[in-house]
């Protein structure tokens, strides 16, 4: 069967997988020398996939008899994923050169491409099994990436931990899927939705409900929402910094978008059932992410807890369960990846005189005097993550809480926003360290125009100037959300 | 009314100057900041001159609805906003002048942060969109946090955290209330919302959410504790702007949101405001009486003065509201000036301990005269601005609640006690310390920082009409809006009737 229309709708995934396969061969024959070239070609492939999004990939509708949905929602999520993956590629070369003696292996960009292909399938899944295939493709690439610095014990530990716990979560998810399949007779989202809609109010259908709970538990692991977050700090701390930046951005977007699609498209009729789960996970993530971050002394660990905290806020928008809620989740993710990639780019600049990476928060002391520009950018990201206006992070929180209030979820909105003040404390601590404390030994001067440029772009996007992008972003996210309803 | 966007220009000047300052040397940054703030002052005076008293309620309106998607960029001022903007632009060049020599490290950043603060203050008062207001209102935390934290005293980090987190916690609940209002009314336009009748049961919750924010900003007892810490640790100019303008945001919020948008809830909860204010007046005045630190004493006196503002605002009559506005303006000038006076001697001796001074009227006569004037204005001596405001505010309160008026008037007496006691210990008596004896009198720069404030304090005290006239119509509009909910007064003043005269005795 040769279904040209369907093949056109998955054009981005085709570009990515074919590109990744070819590059893998290049890497196998070219060896270490080809690393730089492979990186640049990979970025070109990601751009190509991004361009392909403008075609039927974001407006085609249903492909392969419903296994894939190429709609605006998938298009918008993929655009974010590819952008984040490209930044993760740009960050990598210098980092690996400095830390492991020129050990940038060409497998890194290939794995990122494969992971991006998997994420693309995740966000456009129209079937529980497509979902699982995409998720595993992404995850397997991610496990290898986490342990990419194979001579570094922490990196190896991170990869192993991620793999074991990730496999457990996949098992939970698969178990949930099997229950849903068993009690609804189908794995297609439409059919599953019909099965949930057919539940007579008042009579509990335990099979479908257990399936729902297990599916959400598996997804909660992937987005690292409390109580399935335990792997996050260890993996984020141990993985090489560019990989951590990647984990905190692209897979987060993909898993979150996947959770939104499953919740709305497949389990939409059971909204009152999964809403409780989402509300619990949301508040627990906001509060736990904030409280646990207070005692951290390692910046990567702190950002890991920050990402847990942020997932909690994104879930506030999902809890609303409305079109506005879905749009606000996408808006949140857009702003969040800019903030988090910016922060990790700053972390990449934290190097002592010999060029070795430093990760302690204390080493940021007095950064505003030794590297004023870098400190200002970091301060912008931190205030923005804390959600203080006039920075763009405020609008992200504004959007999700607006959706929650409009959906009538007042207790969630009130507790969630009150708990955001706890989060402000540890973000302020970074600013305090950089601005109020006496200077620690200065970092090595910035030597990468690419990284400096990316930090500047992210900081400008997060600055009040970003507000001018709201009408455009708002229209896009709204159009994307509409595709699910 | 010209179509020229004068309010946007007032926002743009400090914004541009702040960016420029970052890239300049210390001295160039000082001059840039001074010129920018003076330019804003000139624009402010122009604004006042052009303001059409008795004209439309909202003037100098600029609207770009939906510029930011769900909310827009809308500016416009009424009389209240005009007066508070004038206060901000008037104090700002003085703050820059006060920091001219006192701030030696990281001057460009300091000046840039002050300019950002000015931008945000003007924006808060001029915003006509609910969320634009919130953005300006909240954003003020960032520069103030950095000013206290970088250039503050020994305990600056604790103070900066306390300031930031206290005010943030107060404000986030207001955001939820705003989201609900925007959803209910379908608009984020403040003038429209001021005409919207929200359901009475919702009003109470909304009112409490706004109260949480404004009470902390104001600050009202018992959430005032961040203020003494912030004041004591902030540099002199930081204290001036904190006391002078930032505290007024709370009062402005009550005036702009709580009263006109939730009249019924305001009436229901007037007892809460009155009770907290009465406690604040008496308690913080007593606390002020025992302070050893000059700045702390003035900080506590600020809390007491702000309580006079809140009772005036919630008196639901013209005297009360006008008095509250005058107290706000007067307190902005007077407490700002008092902090400058503390700064003057702090720069010489580097201590704020009251006992280290004494007898300053002997070797610093010019300083002593100006300090005396501001002390008297703080007490509320007739002829100074303090008297006008406090008298109007208390007489307005008396019409609603005689008991609260009685309790709060004791604050005036206590205020006289602690201010005079402070002045006696600092300025009178013998000079006991040699280093105090060597202190030179006011320099020309310092004199010109204090003299304009002194002039305006006297002007407001002798002829308050200049300041009341632009606000008169707006007070009328506000009173008309809340009149349907005005609580019952306990004083029940009635027109006097002559005693009946028995027939036959008339001859």
What confidence tens digit (pLDDT) does each residue in A370-388 have? 888 899 999 999 999 998 8
The stretch A418-442 carries a mean pLDDT of 88
Please say whether the dihedral angle defined by the alpha carbons of residues A117, A122, A125 and A129, taken in this order, is positive or negative: positive
Residues 6+ apart with CB under 8 A from A198: none
Calculate the alpha carbon distances from A39 to A44, A88, A241 in Å: 9, 10, 17
pLDDT at A357: 82
The stretch A333-350 carries a mean pLDDT of 92
Which of A397, A432, A465, A476 has the highest number of chain B CBs within 10 A, making it the mutation to test binding with B?
A432
CB within 8 Å: A424 and B164: yes
pLDDT at B195: 87
Judging contacts by C-beta atoms under 8 Å, the chain B residues touching residue A405 are 176, 179-180, 183
pLDDT at B507: 47
CB within 8 Å: A432 and B173: no
pLDDT at B501: 62
Judging contacts by C-beta atoms under 8 Å, the chain B residues touching residue A474 are 69-70
Helix, strand, coil shares, percent, chain B, to 5: 75, 5, 20
Interface residue ranges in chain B relative to chain A, Cβ cutoff 8 Å: 66-70, 106, 109, 131, 134-136, 138-139, 141-142, 145-146, 149-150, 156-157, 160-161, 164-165, 168-169, 172-173, 175-176, 179-180, 182-183
The stretch A130-152 carries a mean pLDDT of 90
∠ CA A210-A212-A217 to the nearest 5 degrees?
95
pLDDT tops 60 at residue A394: yes
CA-based nearest residue in chain A for residue B65: A471
Chain segment B371-430, per-residue pLDDT in tens: 999 999 999 889 888 899 999 999 999 888 888 888 888 888 898 999 999 998 888 888
What is the DSSP-derived secondary structure letter of residue B381?
-
Comparing A55 with A204, the larger pLDDT belongs to A55
Tell me if B180 sits within 8 A of A405, measured CB to CB: yes
Residues 6+ apart with CB under 8 A from A175: A214
CB within 8 Å: A401 and B179: yes
CB within 8 Å: B179 and A405: yes
pLDDT at A57: 81
pLDDT at B499: 63
pLDDT tops 60 at residue A1: no
Tell me if B120 sits within 8 A of B140, measured CB to CB: yes
Confidence class for position A141, pLDDT limits 50, 70, 90: very high
Judging contacts by C-beta atoms under 8 Å, the chain A residues touching residue B182 are 402
Chain B contacts in chain A segment 374-413 (CB below 8 A): 383, 388-390, 394-395, 398, 401-402, 405-406, 410, 413
CB within 8 Å: B160 and A436: yes
CB within 8 Å: B138 and A388: yes
pLDDT at A42: 93
Nearest to A401 among B67, B142, B176 (CB): B176
In sequence order, what DSSP letters do the residues of B3-27 get, joined into one string? ---HHHHHHHHHHHHHHHHHTS-HH
Judging contacts by C-beta atoms under 8 Å, the chain B residues touching residue A470 are 68-70
The stretch A65-90 carries a mean pLDDT of 91
CB within 8 Å: B150 and A435: yes
pLDDT at B494: 60
Tell me if B217 sits within 8 A of B170, measured CB to CB: yes
CB within 8 Å: B183 and A405: yes
Tell me if A338 sits within 8 A of A275, measured CB to CB: no
CB within 8 Å: B164 and A394: no
Nearest to A474 among B69, B141, B169 (CB): B69
Here the ipTM equals 0.90
Nearest to A417 among B69, B149, B172 (CB): B172
pLDDT at A117: 94
pLDDT tops 90 at residue A79: yes
Confidence class for position A7, pLDDT limits 50, 70, 90: confident
CA-based nearest residue in chain A for residue B152: A436
CB within 8 Å: A471 and B67: yes
CA atoms in the 13 A half-sphere facing the CB of B138: 27
Rounded to whole angstroms, the Cα distance separating A42 from A386 reads 34
Mean pLDDT by 10 residues, chain B (507 residues): 78 91 88 92 91 85 82 88 92 90 86 91 91 91 89 86 88 90 88 88 91 89 87 87 88 90 89 90 91 89 91 89 92 92 87 84 88 91 89 90 88 89 87 82 88 92 90 89 80 63 55
pTM, rounded to two decimals = 0.91
């Amino acid at each position: 069967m040769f279904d040209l229309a369907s093949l056109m709708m998955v054009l981005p995934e085709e570009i990515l997988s074919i590109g990744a396969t070819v590059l893998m061969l290049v890497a196998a024959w070219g060896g270490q020398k080809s690393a730089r070239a492979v990186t640049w070609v990979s970025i070109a492939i990601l751009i190509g996939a991004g361009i392909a999004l403008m075609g039927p990939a974001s407006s085609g509708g249903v492909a392969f008899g419903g296994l894939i949905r190429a709609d605006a929602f998938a298009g918008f999520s993929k655009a974010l994923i590819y952008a984040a993956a490209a930044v993760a590629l740009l960050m990598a070369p210098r980092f690996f050169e400095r830390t492991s003696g020129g050990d940038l292996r060409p497998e890194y960009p290939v794995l990122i491409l494969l992971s991006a292909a998997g994420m693309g399938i995740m966000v456009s899944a129209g079937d529980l099994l497509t979902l699982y295939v995409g998720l595993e493709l992404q995850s397997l690439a991610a496990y290898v990436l986490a342990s990419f610095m194979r001579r570094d014990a922490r990196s190896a530990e991170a990869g192993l931990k991620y793999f074991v716990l990730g496999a457990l979560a996949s098992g939970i998810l698969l178990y949930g899927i099997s229950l849903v399949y068993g009690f609804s007779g189908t794995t297609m989202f439409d059919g599953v939705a019909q099965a949930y809609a057919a539940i007579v109010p008042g009579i509990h259908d335990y099979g479908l409900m257990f399936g729902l709970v297990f599916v959400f538990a598996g997804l909660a692991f992937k987005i690292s929402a409390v109580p399935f977050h335990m792997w996050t700090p260890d993996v984020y701390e141990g993985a090489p910094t560019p990989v951590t930046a990647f984990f905190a951005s692209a897979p987060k977007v993909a898993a979150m978008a996947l959770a939104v699609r499953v919740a709305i498209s497949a389990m939409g009729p059971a909204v009152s059932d999964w809403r409780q789960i989402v509300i619990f996970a949301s508040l627990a993530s906001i509060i736990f992410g904030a409280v646990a971050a207070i005692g951290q002394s390692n910046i990567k660990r702190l950002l890991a807890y920050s990402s847990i905290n942020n997932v909690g806020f994104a879930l506030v928008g999902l809890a609303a369960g409305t079109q506005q809620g879905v749009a606000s989740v996408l808006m949140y993710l857009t702003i969040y990846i800019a903030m988090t990639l910016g922060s990790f780019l700053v972390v990449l600049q934290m190097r002592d005189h010999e060029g070795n990476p430093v990760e302690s928060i204390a080493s940021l002391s007095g950064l505003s005097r030794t590297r004023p520009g870098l400190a200002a950018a970091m301060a912008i990201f931190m205030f923005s993550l804390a959600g203080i206006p006039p920075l763009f992070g405020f609008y992200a929180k504004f959007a999700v809480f607006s959706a929650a209030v409009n959906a009538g979820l007042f207790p969630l909105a009130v507790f969630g926003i009150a708990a955001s003040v706890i989060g402000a404390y540890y973000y302020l601590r970074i600013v305090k360290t950089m601005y109020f404390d006496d200077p620690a030994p200065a970092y090595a001067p910035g030597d990468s125009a690419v990284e400096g440029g990316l930090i500047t772009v992210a900081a400008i996007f997060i600055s009040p100037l970003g507000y001018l992008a709201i009408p455009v972003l708002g229209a896009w996210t709204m159009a994307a959300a509409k595709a699910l309803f | 009314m010209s179509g020229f966007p004068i309010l946007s220009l007032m926002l743009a000047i400090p914004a541009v100057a702040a960016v420029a300052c970052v890239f300049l040397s210390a001295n160039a940054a000082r001059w840039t900041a001074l010129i920018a703030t003076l330019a804003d002052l000139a624009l402010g005076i122009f604004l006042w001159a052009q303001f059409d008293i008795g004209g439309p309620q909202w003037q100098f309106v600029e609207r770009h609805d939906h510029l930011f998607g769900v909310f827009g960029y809308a500016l416009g001022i009424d009389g209240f906003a005009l007066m508070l903007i004038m206060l901000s632009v008037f104090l700002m060049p003085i703050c820059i002048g006060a920091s001219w020599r006192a701030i030696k490290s990281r001057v460009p950043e300091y000046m840039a942060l002050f300019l950002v603060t000015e931008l945000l203050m003007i924006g808060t008062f001029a915003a006509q969109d609910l969320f634009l207001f919130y953005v300006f209102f909240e954003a003020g935390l960032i520069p103030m946090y950095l000013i206290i934290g970088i250039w503050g005293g020994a305990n600056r980090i604790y103070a900066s955290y306390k300031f930031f987190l206290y005010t943030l916690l107060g404000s986030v609940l207001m955001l939820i209330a705003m989201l609900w209002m925007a959803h209910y009314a379908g608009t984020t336009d403040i003038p429209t919302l001021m005409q919207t009748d929200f359901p009475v049961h919702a009003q109470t919750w909304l009112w409490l959410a706004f109260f949480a924010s404004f009470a902390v900003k104001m600050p009202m007892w018992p959430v005032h504790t961040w203020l003494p810490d912030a004041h004591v640790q902030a540099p002199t100019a930081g204290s001036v702007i904190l006391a002078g303008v930032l505290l007024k945001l709370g009062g402005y919020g009550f005036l702009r949101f709580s009263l006109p948008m939730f009249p019924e809830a305001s009436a229901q909860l007037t007892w809460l405001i009155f009770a907290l204010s009465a406690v604040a007046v008496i308690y913080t005045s007593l606390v002020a009486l025992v302070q050893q630190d000059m700045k702390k004493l003035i900080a506590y006196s600020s809390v007491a003065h702000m309580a006079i503002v809140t009772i005036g605002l919630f008196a639901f009559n013209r005297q009360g509201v006008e008095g509250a506005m005058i107290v706000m303006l007067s307190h902005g000038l007077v407490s700002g000036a008092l902090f400058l006076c503390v700064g003057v001697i702090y720069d010489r001796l580097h201590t704020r301990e009251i006992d280290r001074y004494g007898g300053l009227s002997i070797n610093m006569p010019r300083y002593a005269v100006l300090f005396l004037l501001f002390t008297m204005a703080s007490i509320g001596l007739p002829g100074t601005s303090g008297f006008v405001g406090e008298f109007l505010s208390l007489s307005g309160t008396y019409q609603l609640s005689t008991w609260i008026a009685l309790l709060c008037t004791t604050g005036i007496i206590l205020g006289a006690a602690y201010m005079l006691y402070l002045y006696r210990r600092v300025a009178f008596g013998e000079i006991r310390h040699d280093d105090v004896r060597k202190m030179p009198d006011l320099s020309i720069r310092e004199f010109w920082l204090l003299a304009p404030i002194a002039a305006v304090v006297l002007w407001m005290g002798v002829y308050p009409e200049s300041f009341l006239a632009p606000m008169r119509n707006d007070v009328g509009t506000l009173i008309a809006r809340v009149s349907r909910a005005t609580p019952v007064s306990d004083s029940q003043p009635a027109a006097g009737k002559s005693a009946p005269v028995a027939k036959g005795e008339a001859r």
